[in-house]
Amino acid sequence: MSKEILYVAEALSNEKNVSKEVIYEAIELALATATRKKHRKDMDVKVIIDTETGNYRSFRRWEVVTDEDFEFEDKQITLEDAQAEDPELDIGDIIEEEMESIEFGRIAAQTAKQVILQKVREAERMQVVERFEDRVGEVLNGVVKRADRGHIFLDLGNKVEAIIPRNHGIPREMVRRGDRLRGMLLEVNTESRGPLLTLSRGAPEFLVELFKVEVPEIDQKLIEIKGAARDPGFRAKIAVFSSDSKLDPIGACVGMRGSRVMSVSNELGGERIDIILWDEDPAVFAINAMAPAEIESIVVDEDRRSIDVAVAEDKLSQAIGRGGQNVRLASELTGWNINVMTAEEASNKNQEEAMKFVEVFMEKLDIDEDMSVLLVQEGFSSIDEIAYVDENELLSVEGFDEDIVGELRQRARDALLTQLILAEEKLEESKPADDLLQLQGMNDKLAFGLAAKEIVTRDDLADLATDELMEITDLTEEQASVLIMEARKHWFEEE
């Protein structure tokens, strides 16, 4: 039977293109499994095959454990019993005792076949993983094997299968068995189940990769793709830039008579693609991204990363796009929240915001409406600006002299100091009391979170209902109930 083992290993290694070591390991595991079945014990068995002769030896094994960890007498031995045989043994050591080997017969062969096939599949899978794990983000070609419930399965050749999940496909795209399809490698599945490779045809990165294929200037680093946004199968926007003033990045991506962009669009089922010129100025970039809409005015709020754009009323629907598509893609492309409104709405909003600033200046600086309006018209929108802006900017305001500027700056700094003091007092008031902090089951994060919602003491917490506590925290019903009962415990003790 030893020669048969060598023959099986040689044949399977050649047939499956798997190393003999993997085959021998599988046979050893199969023989060990068959040995355990024969003895009907949950013992630990190790089989070693001589790869030169095909002969093999079997060993029964015990692990040395503490008395507390001793659970399985068939494959464990306590330290005391082990040291009775060999004083040098220690926790974690393995005792091996040679035992009679079973024959490589029918049962062992069947078990070996199952184990070998599993090992071969695992080895083949790992070969594919090693081949593709460094190619994530690359565009791959395959032939459609089948489509099932929106999922598309591709044959990439050499027995490699990939899947395009429904959420990474192009909606309403019609594919048939035998069609050749491209997709971007999104993920390599190292688990033992499921398709090995996951591709995407709907990701913005796939659009970028297609342009890299069609536009040589991108590969030559003459044109840089700054970003992309997609509504797969319908519309996309891609931002391009070139530091070479002689090169038109949009024209290069469009190609002669639109050949390059049409090639990409056809691959994506006729997806309409807007090629946008990137600009480091967010306002300019937003105006470009909103194409084909014509922008009449724009206001950038850097703190909120928000941009308000105004368009003519008869152009509003075009700027927003069907289902908000145009403005949504522009927002995704720029990374800013773009709000579209008519010129009249923008004017009203600006007036409302200006009046808010006017009211703040009148209240905080104790000045009349005329002076507040004048400050807003000159572009001042916060107390901080008036307190710390360069003095010359205030002096440039018509009618302002050094005395007026000095008084305004002093009032602004006093107002800021008052705000700071009030904020510190509010913070002090929102600190949790000691009796709340010391409750069993309470922690600092939860206590300070409750204090911020004016639940400062143990009694404040005790007055809450379970559902009320759940609404303002992430506690489960059981946790909230236990904590409230803990807060109420002193009521019953006092009674």
pLDDT digits (tens, 9 = 90+) for 309-352: 888 888 888 889 888 999 999 999 999 999 998 877 877 787 78
Region 237-243: what's the mean pLDDT?
95
Pick the closest to residue 162 from 130, 179, 184 (CA basis): 184
- Asked if the model's pLDDT at residue 108 lies above 70, the reply is no
Give yes or no on whether 2-128 and 434-494 have one common fold: no
Q: Residue 230 corresponds to which tokens in the numbers above?
A: 């997609």
Residue reference for tokens 């002969």:
55
Q: Given this structure, which CATH class describes domain 434-494? A: mainly alpha
Strand partners, 330: none
- Asked if the model's pLDDT at residue 145 lies above 80, the reply is yes
pLDDT digits (tens, 9 = 90+) for 365-381: 888 888 888 888 887 88
- Alpha-carbon span 253 to 273, nearest angstrom: 11
Please tell me the predicted confidence (pLDDT) of residue 272. Answer: 94
Q: How many CB atoms lie within 10 A of CB 218?
A: 20
- Asked if the model's pLDDT at residue 294 lies above 60, the reply is yes
Its pTM surpasses 0.85:
no
Q: Pick the residue with more confidence: 253 or 40?
A: 253
Question: Any idea which of 8-22, 191-205, 455-469 has the lowest mean pLDDT?
Answer: 8-22
pLDDT digits (tens, 9 = 90+) for 109-142: 666 667 777 777 777 778 788 888 888 989 999 9
Domain ranges of the chain: 2-128, 133-202, 434-494
Please tell me the predicted confidence (pLDDT) of residue 193. Answer: 65
Please tell me the predicted confidence (pLDDT) of residue 230. Answer: 94
Please tell me the predicted confidence (pLDDT) of residue 174. Answer: 87
Q: Residue 46 corresponds to which tokens in the numbers above?
A: 């190790």
- Alpha-carbon span 387 to 406, nearest angstrom: 10
- Alpha-carbon span 330 to 346, nearest angstrom: 19
- Asked if the model's pLDDT at residue 202 lies above 90, the reply is yes
Average pLDDT over the chain reads 86
Please tell me the predicted confidence (pLDDT) of residue 349. Answer: 80
Q: Considering the chain, what percentage of its residues have pLDDT values greater than 70?
A: 94
Question: Beta 56-65 vs 44-49: how paired, if at all?
Answer: antiparallel
- What is the CA angle 323-314-337, rounded to 5? 45
Query: Band of the pLDDT at 402, cuts 50, 70, 90?
Result: confident
Question: Beta 306-311 vs 297-301: how paired, if at all?
Answer: antiparallel
What CATH number has the domain spanning 133-202?
A: 2.40.50.140
Contact 363, 419 (CB under 8 A): no
Q: Given this structure, which CATH class describes domain 2-128? A: alpha beta
pLDDT digits (tens, 9 = 90+) for 181-195: 999 999 888 775 656
